[in-house]
Amino acid sequence: MTTTIIITFCTLLLVAYLFNLTSARTKVPSVILLLVLGWAIKRGVEYFEINVPNLSAILPVLATAGLILIVLEGALELRLNKSKIPLIKQSILGALVPMLGLSFILAYIFSVVSGYSFLQCLTNAVPLCIISSAIAVPSVSNLSEFNREFVIYESSLSDILGVLFFNFVILYDSIGVSSFGHFSIQLVAIVIISFVATLGLSVLIRKIDHHVKFIPIILLVILIYTILKVYHLPALIFILIFGLFIGNADQLRWFAWIDRFKLEVLETESEKFKDLTIELAFLVRALFFILFGFLLETSDILNLQTLAWSIGIVALFILARSLQLKISGLPFKPLLFVAPRGLITILLFLSILPAQQIPLVNNSLIIQIILITAIIMAVGIMITKTEE
């Protein structure tokens, strides 16, 4: 039994790695292949009547670990220098404005159709409006440098800002001056805590000379994130600040006091830390999507009752993105197509309390929107590549 589990585990991850390698050539996002792989395994298990324990409790754990590692990976990729300021501004606007606008529009539509309160509908709408860096970033490796960097910045910031906005919505029963004031205090507190924790972790990265050093650092990052979540603080800001600090150590020399951290050593170690983070993010992401595909029901994918809603919502996404690109003066192709939904959408959907869920936003709607946006991205990148 143990041997079978090890063989299965290793084979699945090697297949996931193969999907990752070939996605740049086939233009088929690896997430679609992973979901299909998980779904096919479930059908095989049912056909051969193999007894598999309930794995649904593992999904939120993998999703949380995946969220931390993916945001950390994205933050480590972001380069902060003067030449990137225009790109960063465009990315922030591209990540924030459409997400907020679409969330409020969908919440209003859900409220009118379902009769639930606007705030409850907003809680269910926000996860649908966040671009997934877990799907977008690995799929744009063959695009031009500007398009690739824009997607990395935009999708990473969409993850971070989207989760912050979602946390704000679910923490307060009403949105008003008091809630904004309380949230502002939380932001100040988390920035201070993140700054202190980042400096402490940076010292550890530089000073630990044991041959095992980066795994304990990542475990500390996850531990700090979890503790901050217990106290309902926007913990992703800590991940963002830590990743930006480690990934841009060479850009911090204009702070006089920063020389005490021996940036030359930190730069060298940060590259190794980044490589390990990328590897772990791939591992967790692959396991998450295979498991999610395994837990999918065919009836959810082919649910005709939600399909019209899914197509309509994706059409709204494309309309909003075309307006965003037009106003920003950015190229339509391929950026119009690169706005997939994925891991963050699933994670936030799973974190909504049953009392706050609305029947309209269910498993079928979520998976259909993820698949449709991923297919549109794949087709769009293939068309763009052909024309070039």
pLDDT, average across residues 250-271: 65
pLDDT tens figures, 26-58: 767 787 888 889 999 998 988 888 888 888 888
pLDDT, average across residues 264-277: 80
pLDDT confidence of 1, banded at 50, 70, 90?
low
Give dist(CA 278, CA 34) in Å, integer. 18
pLDDT confidence of 308, banded at 50, 70, 90?
very high
The confidence score (pLDDT) of residue 219 equals 93
CB 205 within 8 A of CB 272: no
**Window from 76-90, 126-140, 209-223, 259-273 with minimum mean pLDDT:** 259-273
Tell whether the model's pLDDT for residue 139 goes beyond 60.
Answer: yes
Rg of the chain taking only CA atoms, in angstroms: 21
pLDDT tens figures, 179-236: 778 888 888 898 899 989 988 888 888 888 888 888 999 999 999 999 998 887 878 8
CA angle 157/162/166 to nearest 5° reads: 155
Count of beta carbons in the 10 Å neighbourhood of residue 273: 22
Give dist(CA 170, CA 122) in Å, integer. 9
The confidence score (pLDDT) of residue 388 equals 45
Q: What percentage of residues in the chain have a pLDDT greater than 90?
A: 29
Tell whether the model's pLDDT for residue 311 goes beyond 80.
Answer: yes
The confidence score (pLDDT) of residue 227 equals 92
Tell whether the model's pLDDT for residue 82 goes beyond 90.
Answer: no
The confidence score (pLDDT) of residue 386 equals 46
CB 296 within 8 A of CB 39: yes
Query: What is the helix, strand, coil percentage profile of the chain, to 5?
Result: 80, 0, 20
List of domains in the chain: 2-387 (1.20.1530.20)
pLDDT, average across residues 125-150: 83
Pick from 124-128, 142-146, 158-162, 262-266 the range whose average pLDDT is largest: 124-128
The confidence score (pLDDT) of residue 180 equals 79
Name the residue with higher pLDDT: 257 or 131: 131
pLDDT confidence of 254, banded at 50, 70, 90?
low
Averaged pLDDT score across all residues of the chain: 85
pLDDT, average across residues 7-32: 83
Q: What is the DSSP letter of 199?
A: H
Tell whether the model's pLDDT for residue 379 goes beyond 80.
Answer: yes
